């Protein structure tokens, strides 16, 4: 489907993004109900490094992806965490989530980022190049089975990847 465009979050989008994330995660059994608050906390902390929205032909925001800085062994090294990814339920499975993720990864790569990590269903995220990187692990053991990453450069990142403080 190509009846949507992707653009950076603009002032005034905040409430629509908040509502969209709440709507997208509400039916998900793994959701903790905090996903929409997370984006507000990241924004308030100045850690919403990249925030993209998908907008339909009528100008309605139907998808969102956020990226925030991550550290490896407490060092800021150009890594980002991709979370959350949300598409409004009636528009899911139409390629919007994929388009948002690909646009975000492309932008970060072009900006010289070192890599991106994600916690989620590997069956979905591995198609975008996320994989298990030996030696790179999340701080939380709980995240471990769902933790995937991709390096944009030839470095072999190793250590403990930590998310921005807003993740708690
Ligand atoms: C997950 C989400 C962002 C995907 O966006 P989308 O626009 O619906 O997905 P796309 O159209 O880009 O991709 C569709 C493909 O992804 C698969 N897919 C979608 N969501 C998936 C999920 N949660 N787990 C595994 N596969 C998934 C579909 O089966 C489909 O596979 P196919 O191409 O082999 O047919 C969206 O469904 C959503 O907002 N879900 C609720 C919130 C959520 O779970 N966010 C991610 C948390 S980690």
CATH architecture of 4-167: 3-Layer(aba) Sandwich (3.40)
pLDDT at residue 156, as a whole number? 77
Nearest protein Cα to ligand 1, atom 32: 93
The pLDDT score that the predictor gives to residue 2 is 61
Q: What pLDDT was estimated at residue 32? A: 86
- Ligand 1 atom nearest residue 95's Cα: 11
pLDDT at 154: 79
Q: Which one, of 116, 131, 35, lies nearest residue 82 by Cα?
A: 116
Contact 82, 118 (CB under 8 A): yes
Ligand 1 center–CA 119 separation, angstroms: 13
| Ligand 1 center to 95 CA (angstroms) | 8
Q: Are 34 and 68 in contact (CB under 8 A)?
A: no
- Structural domain boundaries in the chain: 4-167
Does the C-beta of 120 come closer than 6 Å to ligand 1?
A: yes
pTM for this entry: 0.96
pLDDT of 3 reads: 86
Residue 19: predicted pLDDT: 98
Angle at 28 between CA 36 and CA 6, to 5 degrees: 55
Ligand 1 mean position to 93 CA, how many Å? Answer: 6
Ligand 1 centroid to Cα of residue 2, in Å, is: 17
Spans in the chain with pLDDT lower than 50: 1
In sequence order, the 6+-apart residues with CB closer than 8 A to the CB of 145 are none
pLDDT of residue 152: 96
Residue minimizing CA distance to atom 4 of ligand 1: 97
Per-residue DSSP letter, 9? -
Query: Is 35 within 8 Å of 86 (Cβ atoms)?
Result: yes
């Amino acid at each position: 489907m190509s009846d949507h465009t992707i653009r950076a979050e603009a002032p005034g989008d905040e409430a629509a993004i908040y509502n969209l994330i709440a709507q997208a995660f509400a039916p998900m059994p793994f959701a903790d109900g905090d996903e929409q608050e997370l984006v507000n906390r990241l924004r308030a902390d100045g850690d919403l490094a990249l925030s993209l929205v998908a907008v339909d032909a009528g100008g309605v925001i139907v998808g969102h992806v956020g990226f925030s800085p991550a550290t490896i062994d407490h060092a800021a090294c150009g890594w980002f965490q991709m979370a959350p990814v949300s598409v409004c339920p009636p528009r899911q499975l139409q390629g919007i989530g994929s388009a948002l993720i690909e646009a975000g990864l492309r932008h970060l790569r072009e900006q010289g980022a070192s890599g991106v990590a994600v916690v989620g269903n590997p069956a979905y995220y591995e198609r975008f190049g996320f994989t298990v990187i030996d030696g790179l692990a999340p701080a939380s053991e709980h995240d471990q089975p769902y933790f995937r990453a991709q390096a944009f450069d030839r470095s072999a990142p190793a250590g403990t990847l930590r998310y921005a403080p807003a993740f708690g």
